[in-house]
């Protein structure tokens, strides 16, 4: 498989593990950057626009959970935790903070590489589904690659949940998505977004992307059922 097009940011302070991982990444054809602390990792993330982050939780300058939160303020990039913390609660906290996967130390490099390949497949699928890196409709533009949204010529800053909602609606444009479907797709793994809270997020999303949120151009409400993104 051709791995040459994916770039990985590895944030890990343990030199032995860092070496162990980078030797394998290199021999498997991945490009990568490494940082030994959270602040350095966040700087590299912004400077180099990688495709995947591998993140240790025990870092010298800040907790990895805080790093995940800060990454999520910047980007939708997939984040895989590599940590010695193996308690269920640690995993729940990391996933809730916005991580996409969690692997417990010690792990085999074979398993880590297999999980990286899962992200690559997902990424390819998303790219081919979208068929482009950008969605444009009237005065709304979504740049999937960079995770940036523009409305009426200006960039709007969405929270991770608002961004997920928008991408989900666009991917299913023209179709009504029920509260249930939205809840499952956006909140995932058994968590439920109550219709009440979905409404709150939708209202906030509309305020950001619609010129007139009282008469929405993009996100149409189907009362008592759910929402759909306008056909054209």
Residues near Ca ion, by CB under 5 A: 13-14, 56, 58
DSSP characters over 108-128: -HHHHHHHHHHHHHHHHHHHH
- Kindly tell me which of 81 and 205 has the beta carbon lying closer to Ca ion: 81
Q: Tell me the closest approach of the beta carbon of residue 17 to Ca ion, in angstroms.
A: 8
Nearest residue (CB) to Ca ion, 14 versus 185: 14
Residue nearest to Ca ion (CB): 58
- Cβ proximity to Ca ion, 85 vs 123, nearer residue: 85
For β-strands 52-55 and 79-83, DSSP reports them as parallel
Instruction: Give percent helix, percent strand, percent coil of the chain, each to the nearest 5.
Output: 45, 20, 35
3-class SS at 196? helix
Distance CA 155, CA 143 (A): 11
Residue 26 beta carbon to Ca ion: minimum distance, rounded to whole angstroms: 21
Give the DSSP H or E segment for 129.
helix 109-130
> Among 124, 142, 133, 41, which residue's Cα sits nearest to residue 82?
41
| Choice between 55 and 95, CB closer to Ca ion | 55
Q: In whole angstroms, how close is the CB of 114 to Ca ion at the nearest point?
A: 23
- Cβ atoms 148, 140 nearer than 8 A: no
Asked if residue 120 lies in contact with residue 94, where contact means CB atoms within 8 angstroms, the answer is no
Closer residue to Ca ion (CB): 38 or 78: 38
Q: How far is the CB of 58 from Ca ion (least distance, A)?
A: 4
Nearer to Ca ion, 62 or 176 (CB): 62
Cβ atoms of 36 and 13 closer than 8 Å: yes
Closest of 87, 72, 85, 92 to residue 190, by C-alpha = 92
């Amino acid at each position: 498989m051709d791995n040459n097009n994916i770039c990985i940011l590895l944030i890990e302070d343990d030199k032995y593990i860092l070496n162990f991982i980078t030797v394998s990444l290199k021999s498997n054809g991945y490009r990568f950057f490494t940082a030994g602390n959270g602040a350095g990792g966040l700087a590299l993330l912004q400077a180099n626009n990688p495709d995947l982050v591998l993140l240790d939780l025990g870092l010298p300058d800040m907790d990895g959970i805080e790093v995940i939160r800060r990454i999520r303020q910047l980007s939708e990039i997939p984040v895989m935790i590599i940590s010695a913390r193996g308690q269920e609660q640690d995993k729940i906290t990391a996933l809730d903070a916005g991580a996409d996967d969690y692997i417990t130390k010690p792990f085999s490099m074979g398993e880590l590489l297999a999980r990286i390949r899962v992200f690559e497949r997902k990424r390819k699928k998303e790219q081919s589904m979208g068929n482009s890196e950008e969605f444009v409709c009237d005065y709304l533009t979504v740049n999937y690659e960079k995770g940036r949204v523009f409305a009426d010529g200006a960039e709007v800053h969405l929270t991770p949940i608002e961004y997920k909602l928008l991408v989900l609606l666009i991917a299913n444009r023209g179709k009504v998505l029920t509260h249930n479907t939205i809840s499952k797709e956006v909140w995932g793994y058994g968590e439920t977004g109550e219709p009440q809270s979905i409404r709150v997020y939708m209202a906030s999303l509309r305020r950001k992307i619609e010129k007139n949120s009282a008469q929405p151009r993009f996100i149409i409400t189907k009362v008592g059922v759910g929402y759909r993104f306008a056909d054209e």
